[in-house]
Structure 1
Amino acid sequence: MVTSSHINAAVVLVAAVASGQGKTTATAALARKLTKMGRTVRVFKCGPDFIDPMLLERASGAPVKSLDLWIVGREACRAQLAQAALEADVILIEGVMGLYDGSPSSADLAREFGVPVMAVIDAGSMAQTAGALVHGLRDYGPVDMAGVIANRVASPGHAAMVAASLRDIPLFATLPKQARSLPERHLGLVLPSEVEGIDEMLDQLADQLSFDEAAWSNLRSTRLELGDALAASEAPAPDARPLAGRKVAIARDAAFMFLYPANLETLAELGATLEFFSPLADEPVPADADAVYLPGGYPELHAEKLAYAQRWQESIRAAHRDGTPIVAECGGMMALAETLADKAGAVWNMAALLPGRVAMQARLAGLGSQGMPTPHGVLRGHTFHYSSMETPLPPAARTVKHPSGVDGEAVYQLGSLTASYFHAYFPSNPAAVAAMFTRSAA
């Protein structure tokens, strides 16, 4: 067991007044700078997200997991933080949207575990008003405000005006306006693997982060309010490994990469052997696979290549004819439709396992935390997509939006296929996950 008296890591939650202020950039810069200083850094991401954790993993050199009081759960968050505190000198948690946005919000998580907040502000078009903004962020909740990282600071004089306006809140660090920013597309940042010179960009951000060593030293007094938390989950007993001896084939390439690391860990803990394959490379589903997992990603960016991947298409249809359980999430489902219309309007033939057609659109089509009802209870997760699907197939079920309780995404069942825009967080209900990947249940 780990108790709060044993937690020695410095920890902050990096938040902002809204999206677009630079909190991912600031968190990445801070992680890279501290790593270069010889610190052992662990980074978490608040809320459901796939892309920001990839960048933060690149910046820190360690896997980035999710913290969310509803999707992940309080006790699982507590255990993850306790484990990180055993391994690291520094824990950085990047918030989601604005500090108080959502239910639960980043502020809710900070208060739950006694984590101080580091506010990132875009100071590019303000000076003394920065103080009013940050004091409002602190007092509205309230939260424990550790300090401020001011982004897009023009000069030392500009930084001095911002610092003076903060009064009793320290200006922790500043970043200048970047000549080259991290590129974005419709679902967020461009994947780090696609950005030329990404490590040089991260090193430059770290070098440009003007850092107050005294303010950092003050963070060392922070203690997480974890109480007694299990440092690491115990391995499941043999009778709790319902996927033992079974192989789950998982699509993983530039078109299919949106999955929680915890999902892979859950499948392994349930006993499954994992094997990865690439539909983009026209690799077929492994012949000895007992189940197939098609996570989300960017099939719309690679639709032409997928359309000509005939070995892949035939193999997934053959697996379905054979009754192999197939779980397809968001982009995985899109690749199984009859056709996919990309953002330019070009229509491409997909695997045609699921009747219907998918089309990209300019407006956001789905966003937020949701739960999928199953015979084993609710499986929690989220949705985030800019496409819509027209299908004659009636939904077998619908997810439930959190916290409103209204209907969410359609869940389709066609033979051994379970498909939806819903991204499931597997640790929230391992029994439901085991059933989805089991032939008898499918």
Structure 2
Amino acid sequence: MQASARCPAILIAAPASGQGKTTVACALARLHARQGRRVRVFKCGPDFLDPCWHALASGAPVYQVDLWMTGEADCRERLHAAALEADLIIVEGVMGLFDGEPSAADLAQRFGLPVLAVVDASGMVGTFGALAFGLQHYRPHMPWAGVLANRVANARHAGMLQASVAPDQWLGAVLRNADMSLPKRHLGLTVATEVADAMERLDAAADTLASTPLGQMTLEDLQRWAVEFAAPEASAPVMPALQGKTIAIARDAAFCFIYAANIDTLLALGAELVFFSPLADAALPACDALWIPGGYPELHAEAIAANTALRDSLAAHVAAGKPVWAECGGMMALFDTLVTLDGQRHAQWGVLAGEVSMQKLLAGLGPQQLQLASGALRGHTFHYSTTATPLQPVARTARPGTVPAPDAGEAVWQQGAVRASYFHAWFPSCPEALIELFTATVEVAA
């Protein structure tokens, strides 16, 4: 049995989305990482984009922690492992502190993570103190670190905000600074690798944070937030059921929503992984199965349509009866046509009959689970498009604690050995179901 591990840790939360949690989490990670300290960052909830920035800021892999999707045991194992090697653990919350089931507050209380509240203080003075007090005391026994004012107008404004909270709660004020903002688009932050000056933005954020009480804390100061992470129970070994199988994974600017834990799980199952770019490559690599993750096909629909050689290679893979699992953006590209917001129609891969149309409003959001013959995969949905197809769903996902319904959840479409859905799967939640997805072939007539 492993021993517990002790490490300073904070959960960065806010009253709502858009307050600046990610910027502050990245700034704090970058500030300590560039001083040679070992920082591990985690993201609460099923988010692909924030972790790209966290990883760049910390220089370390970033994993999701969610009491439902990843499960308490998985959270405990990852936090304990991080505590064994890190000088500081940062967990970024999701939405507002108490939003969602489970919420960031649930995670903080389950593991004793002190909460640092980031509050957008533009347009307020005394209400800042009321918000800070409410976040701390709304639920009894909330572990608490303090409050940071964000987007503050000037030093005078900062002084008034500081006066509204107890002295031991104040962790500083971050003035408005366009240089430290992280660019956004319709699904959230822009992927860090697509932003040419990403590191410069992170350094600007770190420099700004360095002038606050939070940013001036030494490793010795951070010990006030030390958390004892209990050792996880020994987990059952994963059998290498995919040994000898090669899985090709689409990965480029159009298909980039990949959990690090999903890659780890495929490797643990014994699969050999090869990556390719549907935008740039003329053919699939030699493989037994294919995974096309989510991303932004709508931003690259013209390039996808132009790469007819890749389309033909994919068609040959499908015709051979080899498995394909496509999630959200990956699924969108499998249909005949993709219609962008401006009404432009782009031919896609034509594996599934029908078309996908982008919408201005969110069309799907929240935790979901997919029941397969060999078990249930947990995950989530988040998309701004809708499908129109003559195909009938072979299955539907369901929200936690419910059963699939004909008019609810995300449809799973199937054509031969191709399965596709808006559902994003968290692979570690059910390796058995994963094996089913990547080994279920169909017989092809000679």
Q: TM-score, normalised by structure 2?
A: 0.94
Contact 1:235 1:269 in 2 (8 A): no
The one-letter amino acid of 1:133's match is L
Aligned partner of 2:87 in structure 1 is 89
- The counterpart of 1:116, out of the listed 108, 114, 117, is 114
Return the letter of the residue paired with 2:283: P
User: What code does the residue aligned with 1:185 have?
Assistant: R
Which residue in the other structure is 2:278 paired with? 279
User: For 1:38-49, what aligned pairs fall within 5 Å after superposition?
Assistant: 38-49=36-47
Deviation of the 1:441 alpha carbon: 7.7
Query: Measured at CA, do residues 373 and 217 of structure 1 come closer, stay the same or move farther in structure 2, by a change above 3 Å?
Result: same
| 8 Å contact from structure 1 (residues 291, 437) kept in 2 | yes
Q: Structure 2 unaligned runs (5+)?
A: none
CA distance in structure 2 between the partners assigned to 1:431 and 1:441 by the alignment: 19
Contact 2:321–2:441 (Cα < 8 Å) also in 1: no
Out of 210-219 and 44-53, give the one that drifted further.
210-219
**Paired residue secondary structure (1:408):** coil
C-alpha separation in 2, matches of 1:251 and 1:218: 44
State how far apart, in whole Å, the 2-side matches of 1:48 and 1:366 are: 14
Distance in 2 between the 1:69 and 1:214 partners? 30
Q: Do residues 328 (structure 1) and 326 (structure 2) align?
A: yes
- Does residue 369 (structure 1) correspond to residue 367 (structure 2)? The answer is yes
- Counterparts of 1:226-241 in structure 2, within 5 Å, are 226-229=229-232, 236=238, 240-241=239-240
Secondary structure class of the residue paired with 1:125:
coil
In the alignment, is residue 260 of structure 1 matched against residue 298 of structure 2?
Answer: no
Report matched runs for 1:95-114 at 5 Å: 95-114=93-112
Q: Are the aligned partners of 1:268 and 1:274 in contact in 2 as well (CA < 8 Å)?
A: yes
Query: Secondary structure in 2 aligned to 1:152?
Result: strand
In structure 2, the residue matched to 1:428 is 429
Distance (Å, rounded) in 1 between the aligned partners of 2:130 and 2:51 = 31
Pairwise CA distance, 1:214: 5.4
**AA in 1 matched with 2:260:** P
Query: CA deviation digits over 1:396-433, x for unaligned, max 9?
Result: 01000135656310011211001000000000000100
What is the CA distance between 1:126 and its match in structure 2?
1.3
Following TM superposition, by how much is the alpha carbon of 1:334 offset from its aligned partner in structure 2, in angstroms?
0.5
How big is the shift at 1:351?
Answer: 0.6
Aligned partner of 1:290 in structure 2 is: 288
Letter in 2 for 1:144: P
Provide the C-alpha distance between the structure 1 equivalents of 2:63 and 2:231, rounded to a whole number of angstroms. 21
Alignment of 1:216-231 (within 5 A): 217-229=220-232
Q: Letter of the aligned partner of 1:398 in structure 2?
A: R
Deviation at 1:171, TM superposition (A): 1.6
Q: How much does 1:325 deviate?
A: 0.3
Matches of 1:307 and 1:152 in 2, distance apart? Answer: 43
Q: Is 1:191 the equivalent of 2:191? A: yes
- State whether residues 417 and 441 of structure 2, in contact with CA within 8 Å, keep that contact through their aligned partners in structure 1: no
Which of 11, 34, 37 matches 2:35? 37
Provide the rounded CA distance (Å) in 2 between the counterparts of 1:411 and 1:211: 49
Q: Distance in 1 between matches of 2:185 and 2:387?
A: 21
CA displacement, residues 361-407 of structure 1 (integer Å, 9 cap, x when unaligned): 00100000000011122110000000011111100010001356563
- Provide the rounded CA distance (Å) in 2 between the counterparts of 1:168 and 1:216: 21
Counterpart in the other structure of 1:146? 145
Task: Let me know the Cα RMSD of the aligned residues.
Answer: 1.8
Q: Indicate whether 1:211 and 2:209 are aligned.
A: no
Change (3 A) 1:441 1:434: farther
**Paired residue type of 1:395:** P
The amino acid across from 1:118 in the alignment is L
Q: Secondary structure at the match of 2:338?
A: strand
Contact 1:294–1:333 (CA under 8 A) maintained in structure 2: yes
Q: 1:335 to 1:214 in 2, by over 3 A?
A: closer
After TM superposition, the structure 1 stretch with the greater mean CA deviation from structure 2, 430-439 or 191-200, is: 191-200
- CA deviation after TM superposition for structure 1 residue 313, in Å: 0.4
2:301 counterpart residue number: 303
**Counterpart AA for 1:182:** L
Q: What 5-or-longer segments of structure 1 have no aligned partner?
A: none
CA–CA separation in structure 2 for the residues paired with 1:214 and 1:350: 52
Going from structure 1 to structure 2, the CA distance change for 1:16 and 1:154 (only over 3 Å counts) comes to same
1:253 deviates by: 0.4
8 Å CA contact retained: 1:59, 1:202: yes
1:434 CA displacement:
0.8
Amino acid paired to 2:165: L
Q: Which amino acid in 2 is paired with 1:269?
A: A
- Separation of aligned partners in 1, 2:217 and 2:267: 44
- Residue 175 of structure 1 aligns to a residue in which SS? strand
TM-score normalised per structure 1: 0.95
